A and B are shown apart, each in its own frame.
Chain A
């Protein structure tokens, strides 16, 4: 018990708050929280809400780095509150603010609507002509492992918006689509099952699209899931340029695998119960 207490530390949370009914501009408020090792920023926020100020607002859901709701500016870096242990990032002072480059709805809650609108505009789903097969699949689509590897990294995105908060192009150009929607456009364009590149490319090559990115790379520096949107965007530019120069053929969506032939193998007998 003694050692546990020694490991505890009082850490001052500086939280940038904004109440749309009272404040014209955000204000900073301090809270002192007794932090033990292993406590995440999200735990700290819960602690404040339960014991000090019930009006403190933020967004979260999964508390395990999967849903992408809890992104905020933690000591100046956009990252996930549930994925950051307080003692890993500070021993005295922790500053928390809403993600920049979005409007603030309240306290630590950013309005991510523009990002999701752009995400919808790139049609983030597989598009094919054979709707019947898509609705009622009879067989698998034929995709090799190498084809999968080309886009797999970019599927890990949880749409948290950290990348947009870090991007300097996003900061000065509010119409810029941003790293997440662009990386997702590449993810679907590269998918060998998909045939929707043409529509998608029309959207991303418009102004404020893919060619507004100038590789500051901050999106990849901050992405909490290792998605590397900057890499996806540069590869997409390459594909687009080669396409303009007609050095690259449009890909055709892959086919379903052939109808299985031959006889099916005999069923494998279930093993004996080990516990009778």
Chain B
């Protein structure tokens, strides 16, 4: 039976941030979750906003007026950045979780090299690609105003 007087030492969501060695993959793990939730929120707001059309032209125009606020523009850029990261990191995770890029089992000889080292180049490439995608998207949104 569980000792009632023991102390619950679970880190909870704080544990997403640290508690260990703060490897870069841990930040990506956390960022992947945060951007995932962010994109979901955007979808919900987006669907709600577009569905306002049903209330007639005037409401729609009023909503569009609100949307020209720079806050929404900034939000749009953020959502795009989140999307770029989430998509490319997601592809990295699919590769890894299908056992690709993590390497075969090897003898643990000190100093240990783990699957983290094996996948690192893939990680770097996907991060560079997502940065490029973010720059392209940001340029498009800010300067071309699409």
Contacts and interface: CB of A to CB of B under 8 A. Distances in A.
Contacts of A230: 102, 114-116
A2 interface: no
A105 B8 CA distance: 9
A153 B19 contact: no
A263 interface: no
B24 to A, nearest CB: 9
Interface string B24-62: 011011101100000000000000000000000000000
A227 B116 contact: no
Nearest to A102: B9
A264 B26 CA distance: 58
Given A171-B15, A172-B15, A226 B112 contact: yes
Interface stretch (A86-94, A191-199, A201-209, A210-218): A210-218
A215 B90 CA distance: 11
A144 B29 CA distance: 37
B116 A21 contact: no
A122 interface: no
A92 to B, nearest CB: 20
B70 interface: no
Interface residues of B, number: 46
A200 B43 CA distance: 39
A235 B114 contact: no
Interface stretch (A33-41, A45-53, A162-170, A266-274): A162-170
A25 B103 CA distance: 43
B145 interface: no
Interface residues of A, number: 57
B96 interface: yes
A188 interface: no
A133 interface: no
A43 interface: no
Contacts of B146: none
B14 interface: yes
A171 B8 CA distance: 11
A217 B21 CA distance: 10
A181 interface: no
A165 B14 CA distance: 13
B6 A231 contact: no
B112 A218 contact: no
B78 to A, nearest CB: 22
A80 interface: no
Given A105-B3, A168-B16, A218 B21 contact: yes
B115 A25 contact: no
B93 A103 contact: no
Contact of A170 (B15, B105, B114): B15
Contacts of A214: 29, 32-33, 93
A231 B105 contact: yes
A246 to B, nearest CB: 16
A175 B11 CA distance: 14
Contacts of A15: none
B103 A231 contact: yes
Nearest to B111: A226
B12 A172 contact: yes
A103 B25 contact: no
B6 A217 contact: no
Interface in A234-255: 234-235, 237-239, 241
21 contacts: A18-B7, A100-B11, A100-B19, A102-B9, A102-B10, A103-B7, A111-B2, A149-B105, A153-B106, A154-B105, A165-B20, A168-B19, A168-B30, A214-B32, A221-B21, A221-B116, A226-B110, A234-B98, A235-B102, A238-B99, A239-B99
Given A171-B12, A220-B114, 7 more contacts: A101-B11, A103-B7, A149-B104, A172-B12, A218-B25, A226-B108, A238-B99
Interface of A: 18, 20-21, 23, 25-26, 76-78, 98-105, 110-111, 113, 149-154, 156, 165-168, 170-172, 174, 214-218, 220-223, 225-228, 230-232, 234-235, 237-239, 241
